[in-house]
A = this chain, B = another copy of it.
Amino acid sequence: MVTISDVAREAGVSTSTVSYVMSGKRAISADTRDRVQAAIARLGYRPHAGARSLASRSTRVIGLQAPLRTGVDVPVIMQVVAGVVQRARVHGYDILLLSSDEAEGLARASRGSMVDALLIMDVESEDARLATIAELDQPSVLIGLPAGRRSIPCIDFDFEAAGWLAVDRLVGLGHTRLALFGAPEAVMERHTSYADRLIRGFLEACEARGVEGSTHPIPDSAEALAEVDAVLTADPGITGILVHNDGALPFIADRIRAHVPSATAPDCLALTSREGALRAHGLTDTIAVPAEALGESAAEMICAMLAGGAHPSVQLLPPELAVGEPSRARIDS
């Protein structure tokens, strides 16, 4: 193993000088700096992470608790994780992946000085981990929005606003009876924060706009078709539909199109992180969930905190409506 002493000897300087060259915390003459950097390159030196964290009390690692359980939309999670990893790297941080064995993993990583900060995904409205995080006294960011007072910084897509946006769009198109087909029952029961908020936004907007709106959890598999079918059959008056369930989308798209076959005025909006695939279903209007951007913003936020900057307590990424071109899109597919 190449140590800092090896580099110092090679460059003819002291170890502290090498350290200062690497960190830039003290002025170093150009000549010395070059010699040291050349020595580092020549020897292929990499500082020992453990030694560094011991001396500097910082690890350059961020703990990320991602939900690996079922019932969540896995591809979305992956996109967020990818965004986090990639952006954290830009700031020189690595990611320690903590499994979702709830609070224990967080405590271990934090107390054991394995990480400089924690990033927590898949937050529930009343999340049991919140108490642990609070007493851990470690910079943390939640990806998700728990209910109540916000002592911990949060970031998320603004699902509530997305609900409003969808309703406004559908009402603007003339629909007066709306339905939201959302996350699976299991997700709802856990009161996963995003599902709750989407429903709230959707229902509040319906009330505000004076239209009827109903919400329906559906499985993220083929079984969704039966449930959607039942809802639409029971109430043929529903003409405006919002779907937030990427897993179910392939199975129910045909049924929904058959229900409201208007080709020019879209009646179904999808809230999804996979815009590309939508075209294929003949669904063209999309509210994109910017999953990767969310991960990147979360990483950015926590890196800013670690860099000592101030930070907003709650950051919500605004929804944007992407209106497609129905006819062309259907031909494309």
Contacts and interface: CB of A to CB of B under 8 A. Distances in A.
A112 B78 contact: no
A108 interface: yes
B280 A221 contact: yes
Contacts of A114: 49, 61, 94
Interface string A221-243: 11100000000000000000000
B75 A281 contact: no
Contacts of A89: 99, 101
A77 to B, nearest CB: 7
Interface residues of A, number: 49
B113 A50 contact: yes
B68 A85 contact: yes
B85 A94 contact: no
Given A50-B53, A54-B50, A95 B94 contact: no
A321 interface: no
A48 B86 contact: no
Interface in A253-305: 276-277, 279-281
A86 B99 contact: yes
Contact of A47 (B64, B74, B112, B277): B112
A23 B294 CA distance: 41
A250 interface: yes
A269 to B, nearest CB: 18
Contacts of A75: 74-75
A96 B94 contact: yes
B96 A61 contact: yes
Interface string A73-101: 01101100110011001000011111101
A205 interface: no
A95 to B, nearest CB: 5
A78 B44 CA distance: 34
A306 B99 CA distance: 21
B333 A277 contact: no
B250 A222 contact: yes
Contacts of A328: none
A81 B97 contact: yes
B86 A78 contact: no
B101 A64 contact: no
A113 B54 CA distance: 13
A59 interface: yes
Given A74-B78, A222-B279, 6 more contacts: A46-B107, A49-B59, A74-B74, A77-B78, A89-B101, A221-B280
What are the 5 closest A-B residue pairs judged by CB atoms, nearest first?
A222-B280, A50-B53, A68-B82, A46-B111, A250-B250
